Amino acid sequence: MKNKIKHLLLGNPLSTEQSGEKRLNKVRALAAFSPDALSSIAYANQEIYLGLALAGAAGLALSLPIGLTISVLLIIVAISYYQTIHGYPQGGGSYIVTRQNLGTMPSLVAGAAIMVDYLLTAAVSLTAGVEALASAFPVLWEHRVLAALSILLVITLINLRGLKEAGTIMAVPVYLFLFTYLPLLAYGALRLFMDGPGDIQASAPSAIQPLAGLLVLRAFASGCTALTGIEAISDGVPAFRPPQAKNAGRTLAVMAVLMFTLFVGSISLIQGLAVVPGPQETILSALARRLLGSGPLYILIQASTMLILAVAANTSFADFPRVASFLAKDGFIPRQLGNLGDRLVFSNGILILAAGTAGLIIAFQGDTHALVPLFAIGAFMAFTLSQSSMVVHWLRERGPNWQIKAAANGAGALATGTTLLVVAISKFNQGAWLTILVIPTLVIIFLKIRAHYRTVSAQLSLRGLPPSLKPAGPMRAVIPVSGVHRGMIDAVLFTQSISRQVTGVYIELEPGASKNVQEMWKRWFPDVPLVVLPSPYRSIIEPLLQFLDETDRQHNDGQMAMIVLPEFVPARWWHALLHNQTSWMIKNALLYNRREKGYQRVIIDVPYHLKR
Amino acid sequence: MKNKIKHLLLGNPLSTEQSGEKRLNKVRALAAFSPDALSSIAYANQEIYLGLALAGAAGLALSLPIGLTISVLLIIVAISYYQTIHGYPQGGGSYIVTRQNLGTMPSLVAGAAIMVDYLLTAAVSLTAGVEALASAFPVLWEHRVLAALSILLVITLINLRGLKEAGTIMAVPVYLFLFTYLPLLAYGALRLFMDGPGDIQASAPSAIQPLAGLLVLRAFASGCTALTGIEAISDGVPAFRPPQAKNAGRTLAVMAVLMFTLFVGSISLIQGLAVVPGPQETILSALARRLLGSGPLYILIQASTMLILAVAANTSFADFPRVASFLAKDGFIPRQLGNLGDRLVFSNGILILAAGTAGLIIAFQGDTHALVPLFAIGAFMAFTLSQSSMVVHWLRERGPNWQIKAAANGAGALATGTTLLVVAISKFNQGAWLTILVIPTLVIIFLKIRAHYRTVSAQLSLRGLPPSLKPAGPMRAVIPVSGVHRGMIDAVLFTQSISRQVTGVYIELEPGASKNVQEMWKRWFPDVPLVVLPSPYRSIIEPLLQFLDETDRQHNDGQMAMIVLPEFVPARWWHALLHNQTSWMIKNALLYNRREKGYQRVIIDVPYHLKR
C-alpha cells in the first residue's frame, strides 16, 4: 500500500543497468543546468537597483558600470570553467577538483561552500520567483511563504522521480523564458533608440544615503549573485551524452553568451529608460510593464520569470545530492547520502535539501532581499578554490598550452578571490557572517564524521585475531514469560532445541499475580524451571536485567545467557497500539542501555503471527 | 540522563506498597474534588448573562428565576450522588454503576460521556480562568491561547508527580477562592440592602432578539454547566481516608451547600445591582469591580477565580485517568491506560487528557463561549445513566428504606434526563451535535477494541493443543553478510554452535562488489558456504526474502531457516545516524511485512558493542 502510493507518485523502481539511458542531450542539458545561471538576472538586477537607489539618481546612474564589471567577471569565470570541463571530463565539481589538487582540508571547505550555495540557490530562486509573480498579482504578496513552499513541494516530487524526466519537464520554462525575454530586450532597445533615454533625475526616489564607496561595493557584491550557477555544468559532465566534455563545453559557452545578453541587456534598458518600480514590484516587472503595459504579454513575462526561477531551484536538486554523494563516498557525511534510491536518484540528498530550503524560506519569511547577503559567499569561495586547483592541475600535468591554461585559471582565481573578499567584507553584518560561520562548522562536522567511521572500522578490523577460531560453547537460555500461551509453546520448544539449560522468568508486577502462571507453566513445561521476580516499582526491564547479571555471575563460566523473546505479531500494524510493547522494550534495553558494562547478549525473537 | 530529568521534574518512583499512604483527608479531598463544581459558577453565570442579554433588560430579569431552577436541580443531583457514594463505597463512577446495573452498552455510553465531560471541563476551566484574569489585565486578551496552554503544562506536570502532592498544591487556591468570594457576596448583600436594587432598564444592553422560549431554554441549558463536576467525589471515594463512604458523603454535602451559596448569591447580586460587564470583561469581574472598584482587592478576586478554575482542570486530571483505567481493565481501551506509572498515577491517561485539552483550546482559540455548547451533554448523559442505574440497584438490593432511596434516585434520573433533552435540543446547532456525534463513535471504538483483544486471546489460547509436545528439530541458519569483520566472527561462531547447516548470504548492490568479500570469507570461514545474490534494484530486503522462501521450498523439510543478524551497536545513540539501519530493516521486514504468507522465522541478533 505504502509502496503503491510511492510508485504512483515517483514512478516504478529502475534497475542499476538502466542508469546509462538517463543521459541528456545538449538541448535538455541546457535546460537542466542553466536555469540558475540565466534566472539569476532576476534577483541580481533587483539587488543592484535596491542597493544603488539608496543614493537616489546619482546612485542609479552607476547601474550600467557595475553591470559591465560583473559581466567581465562572468567572462573570466566562464573561460575558467570551460577549462575545468576539459580537464575533468569525469565531472569536475569544486570538491573533487580541490581534493585532487589542493588536498583534503581545502576540498572540505569547497564542499561545504558549494553545498551551502546550492541550498541558498534553491531558497533565493523560489522566493524571487514568487516575488516576480506577486508583482503581477499583488494579492500573492502576503502569501509569499506558502506559495514558495508549494512550488518547493512540486519540485521535490519531480526530482524524486529522476533526472531525465526532470529534464523534460524543466525544458519548457527555460525556453519559454528565452523566447519571451530576448524579444522583450530587442523591443526595448528599439524603443530606447527611437524615444531616447528617460530622465532618471525626475523618476528616481530621493537619496537617503550619500553615494559612498561602501554603498557601491555592496551593490556590486549583491549583483555578483548573477554569476551563481555557472559552475553547475562542470559538476554535471557525466550526465551529458558522449562526447561528454565537448558537449558540456559547448553548452557552457552558449549559456555564458545568453547570461551576458540577458544581464547587460536588461540593466542597460533599466538605466536607459530610467525605470523605477512601484512599492510591491520587482525592477524587472517594472521594466516589462513600462514596455508592454499591464496586459497579457506582461503577465506572460512575469509568469515565465517565475517559472524559470522555480526551475532554477532544480539546478540545486540536480547537483546538491551529487556533491553530497561524493562526500559520503569519502566518509565525510553519513553513508546513506551516497546510496542511489529506487529511481536512480540520491533520494536522501534530495529530501535533506528540500527540508533545508523550506527551513530557510520560513525563517526569512520568503524575503529575497534578506537572503541575498548570505548567498554569494559560498559560490565565490567554491569558485576561488576550484580555479586555484586548476592552476595546480595544469602545473602538474603540463599538457599542450599548459601555460595559457594555467594563466587563464589563475586570472579566474584572482578575480573570484577578490570578489569573495569584497562580498565578505561589505556584506558581513548584513548576514554574510552567518555563511562565514556555517562553512567552517560544516568542515568540523565532516572531519568528526570521518573520524567516527575510522574508529568503527578499526574496531571491526580482523587484524590481530588468531587465524583459527575456537567454536562457541553451549549457552544458557532465559525466556521472559508474559503468560502461558501458544507463542510461548513455540518459543520454549525452539529454545530447548538449541540449549540444554533453559529458564523461564516471570516479572510479578502486582503481588500474587504469578500464581496462575506458575500452575499453567508446571502443567505445560514440567522440565523447565520458572523463576518469579517481584517488581515493586512495576518495571519489567530492571528486574530482568538484574537477574541476567546475577545468574551470569553465579555461573561464572564466561558465557552469557541468550534471551529468547516469544513475540506475538498483530495482524495489522495499528493493532500494535493496543498492546504493551514489552518485547520491543526488552530488545532495546539489551541492545543499547547496557552498553557501558560491555555485555554482549544474543537476542532471539520467536515470532508468533496472529492471523486476525 | 533522561531518567534523571524525569525524576527531577516528577519525583522519584514509588513502590506499589506505598499506594496506601496516598489517601486524602476531608480538607484535602474537598480541595481535590470540588474545584470544578465550585468554579463552574464563573462560566455558568457568564453564559446565563450572555444568553439572556440578547433579549435586553426583559431577558436579564429572568436571571434569578433560572438560577433558582438550576439550584433545585443541584439539590436533586447532590442527594442522588450522596446515595451513590453509600451504595458504592468502593468508588461509584457512572461507568461502574451503569455496568453493574444496566449492562455493557449503557455503561460504555456512560464511560464515553464522562470521559468527554472531563476533557471539556479541563478545556473550559482553563479558558474561563484566563478570561477572568484578562478581565483585570486586558493585555492578556489577545494571548488567551498561549496563557491557557501554559497553565495546562504546569497542571500536567503537577499531576504526573502524583495525587497527594497535587492535593496539597491545589488546596491553597480553593480555600483562597472561598475566603475571598464568600465575604464578597456578604458585602454585596449588605450594599444591596442599604442602597436598594439597581435600575436594569437603564444599564442593560438593548435587545437584539425578542424574549422567546428557545432563548430562555438556551440560557437555562448553558447555566446547567454549573452542575458539572458534582459527580467527581462519587468517582473518587477510594482516595478518601477510612471510613471512606462517610467522609466522602460529608464532603459532598459541604460542597453542595457551597455551590448553592456561591451560585444563588452571585446571580442574586448581579440581578439586584443590575450589573453589566464591559466589552472585554466577564460578568463576575463586573460584579467584583462594582463592589470593590479596580484596586488590589478586585485583582485578588480575579486572581483567585483564575486559580480555582485552573485547579478545576485538575479535577479532570484526577478522574479522567481513573475512568480510563477502569475501561482499560475491562478491555475497552488500550491496556497501557490501565498501568500505574512510576509515581502511582496513571501517566498515560494524564498525557492523553493533556493532549486532548490542548487540542480543544487551540481549535476553539481559547473561547469559552464557543466551547460551552459542547459541554453539558456529556455530564448530563452520565448523570442520567448513573441515577437510573441506582434505581435498578435499590430495586435489586432492597436494603432498609429502599423505596425512599429508589424514589430519590428516580427523581434524579428524571430531572437530569429532562435537562439532557433540553440541552441537546436547544444547543444542537451551536455545537452540541459534535458531542452527540463523538459519544457513539467512542462506544463503537470501545467495542472494536474489546473484539480485538478477544480475537487475540482466542488465537493465543492453548485449548485444543495435544498435551505432549514434540520438540523442534534441527534448523538451518542463514547469515546476511555485510562484510567480513569482528561482529561477523561472533555471529558465525555462535550460529555454528546451534545449527549444522549455516549459509552466508551477500547482497551485491553494484556488479562486481562481492569479489573482495568472497575472498575474505573463504579465508576466515572455509567451511561455511557464501551465496552472492545480485540486486539490480539496489534493495537489500527483497532478494534476501526471496532467497529464504526459495531455499525453504527446496529443502521441503517443513522447517524454516533462522536468520542470524550480526549487528554492531554504536557507542553513542546518535552514531546510529551515521550508519545504514540495515539490521533494523531486515528485522522489521521479517517480523511484519511478510505476515500474509504466514511465515514464522526465528530472528537472532548477535550484537557487537563498539566501545568508542
Chain A residue with the nearest C-alpha to that of B344: A537
Chain B touched by A462 (CB under 8 Å): yes
| Interchain proximity A578–B335, CB inside 8 Å | yes
Chain B residue with the nearest C-alpha to that of A475: B497
A462, A489, A590: residue with CB nearest B485? A462
| Interchain proximity A342–B537, CB inside 8 Å | yes
3-state secondary structure of B94: helix
Query: Do you find a cis peptide bond into A566, omega within 30 degrees of 0?
Result: no
Chain A touched by B541 (CB under 8 Å): no
Under the banding of pLDDT at 50, 70 and 90, the label for residue A338 is: confident
| Interchain proximity B453–A578, CB inside 8 Å | yes
Chain A touched by B567 (CB under 8 Å): yes
Give pLDDT tens digits for A458-475: 888 888 777 667 777 778
Using CA atoms, how far apart are residues A144 and A124, in angstroms rounded to an integer? 12
| Interchain proximity A452–B578, CB inside 8 Å | yes
Residues of chain A neighbouring B470 (CB-CB closer than 8 A): 493
3-state secondary structure of A404: helix
Residues of chain A neighbouring B587 (CB-CB closer than 8 A): 605
- The pLDDT of residue B4 is 60
The residue among B456, B463, B519 with the most chain A CBs within 10 A of its CB, best to mutate, is B456
Burial of A191 (0-12, 13-18, 19+ CB in 10 A): middle
Instruction: Give the contacts of B322 (CB within 8 A, at least 6 positions apart).
Output: B93, B235, B236, B346, B349
| Interchain proximity B497–A612, CB inside 8 Å | no
- The pLDDT of residue B390 is 92
Task: From A362, A276, A253, A375, select the one nearest A316 (Cα to Cα).
Answer: A375
Chain A touched by B79 (CB under 8 Å): no
Chain A touched by B254 (CB under 8 Å): no
Nearest Cα of chain B lies from the Cα of A382 at a distance, in angstroms, of 26
- The pLDDT of residue A610 is 82
- The pLDDT of residue B91 is 75
Chain A touched by B421 (CB under 8 Å): no
B366 CB-side CA count, 13 A: 20
Write down the residue that cell numbers 495489522 correspond to: A572
Residues of chain A neighbouring B591 (CB-CB closer than 8 A): 567, 569, 605, 607
Burial of A210 (0-12, 13-18, 19+ CB in 10 A): exposed
Chain A touched by B533 (CB under 8 Å): no
Residues of chain A neighbouring B452 (CB-CB closer than 8 A): 575, 578
Give pLDDT tens digits for B341-382: 655 667 888 899 999 999 999 999 889 999 998 988 998 999
3-state secondary structure of A507: strand
B275 CB-side CA count, 13 A: 28
- The pLDDT of residue A345 is 66
- The pLDDT of residue B108 is 95
List, as ranges, residues 577-606 from B with C-beta within 8 Å of A: 577-580, 587, 590-592, 595, 598-606
> Residues in chain B, how many?
612
* Positions in chain B short of pLDDT 70: 1-22, 162-169, 340-345, 467-468, 558, 593-600
Chain B touched by A5 (CB under 8 Å): no
CA angle A76, A436, A93 (to 5 degrees): 45
| Interchain proximity B591–A575, CB inside 8 Å | no
Contact indicator for A132, A42 with CB cutoff of 8 Å: yes
Contact indicator for B81, B230 with CB cutoff of 8 Å: yes
**B260 or A206, which is more confident:** B260
Task: From A505, A497, A493, A498, select the one nearest A473 (Cα to Cα).
Answer: A498
> What is the separation of C-alpha B167 from the centre of its chain, rounded to a whole number of angstroms?
19
- The pLDDT of residue B467 is 65
What sign does the CA torsion over B9, B12, B15, B18 have? Answer: negative
| Interchain proximity B471–A496, CB inside 8 Å | yes
- The pLDDT of residue B479 is 93
Asked whether the whole model's pTM tops 0.80, one would answer no
- The pLDDT of residue B236 is 77
For chain A, the average pLDDT equals 86
Residue A110 φ then ψ, to 5° = -60, -45
Nearest Cα of chain B lies from the Cα of A474 at a distance, in angstroms, of 7
Chain A residue with the nearest C-alpha to that of B467: A524
Using CA atoms, how far apart are residues A330 and A600, in angstroms rounded to an integer? 31
Give pLDDT tens digits for A112-140: 999 999 999 999 999 999 999 999 998 88
A455, A465, A590: residue with CB nearest B612? A455
What is the arithmetic mean of pLDDT over A68-81?
A: 92
Exposure string of A355-377, with b = 16+ CB inside 10 Å and e = fewer, is ebbbebbeebebebbebbbbbbb
Q: Would you tell me how many other CB atoms lie within 10 Å of the CB of residue A541? A: 18
* DSSP result, A102-166: T-HHHHHHHHHHHHHHHHHHHHHHHHHHHHHHHHH-GGGGGGHHHHHHHHHHHHHHHHHH-HHHH
| Interchain proximity A568–B460, CB inside 8 Å | yes
Chain A touched by B460 (CB under 8 Å): yes
| Interchain proximity B607–A612, CB inside 8 Å | no
B16-19 contacts: CB < 8 A, separation 24 or more? B16/A509, B16/A510, B16/A511, B16/A536, B16/A537, B16/A538, B16/B340, B16/B344, B17/A536, B18/B344, B19/B340, B19/B344
| Interchain proximity A599–B592, CB inside 8 Å | no
Chain B touched by A454 (CB under 8 Å): no
Does the pLDDT at position A392 exceed 90? yes
C-alpha distance across the termini of chain B, in Å: 19
- The pLDDT of residue B422 is 92
Grid coordinates belonging to B536: 539490480
In eight-state DSSP terms, residue A24 is B
Q: Which amino acid is at A347?
A: S
Chain B touched by A469 (CB under 8 Å): yes
List, as ranges, residues 496-515 from A with C-beta within 8 Å of B: 496-499, 509-511
- The pLDDT of residue B2 is 52
Give pLDDT tens digits for A421-449: 999 999 998 889 999 999 999 999 999 99
Chain A touched by B17 (CB under 8 Å): yes
Under the banding of pLDDT at 50, 70 and 90, the label for residue A4 is: low
Chain A touched by B145 (CB under 8 Å): no
| Interchain proximity B605–A606, CB inside 8 Å | no
> What is the separation of C-alpha A177 from the centre of its chain, rounded to a whole number of angstroms?
26
| Interchain proximity B598–A609, CB inside 8 Å | yes
| Interchain proximity B598–A611, CB inside 8 Å | yes
Using CA atoms, how far apart are residues A482 and A507, in angstroms rounded to an integer? 8
Contact indicator for B578, A334 with CB cutoff of 8 Å: yes
Does the pLDDT at position A27 exceed 80? yes
The residue among A21, A449, A497 with the most chain B CBs within 10 A of its CB, best to mutate, is A497
Residues of chain A neighbouring B610 (CB-CB closer than 8 A): 455-456, 459
Instruction: Give the contacts of A354 (CB within 8 A, at least 6 positions apart).
Output: A152, A153, A155, A156, A317
Chain B touched by A524 (CB under 8 Å): yes
B13, B473, B600: residue with CB nearest A607? B600
Instruction: Round the CA-based radius of gyration of chain A to a whole number and report it.
Output: 32
Does the pLDDT at position A595 exceed 60? no
**A596 or B316, which is more confident:** B316
Nearest Cα of chain B lies from the Cα of A591 at a distance, in angstroms, of 7
Q: Would you tell me how many other CB atoms lie within 10 Å of the CB of residue A283? A: 23
Using CA atoms, how far apart are residues A492 and A506, in angstroms rounded to an integer? 14
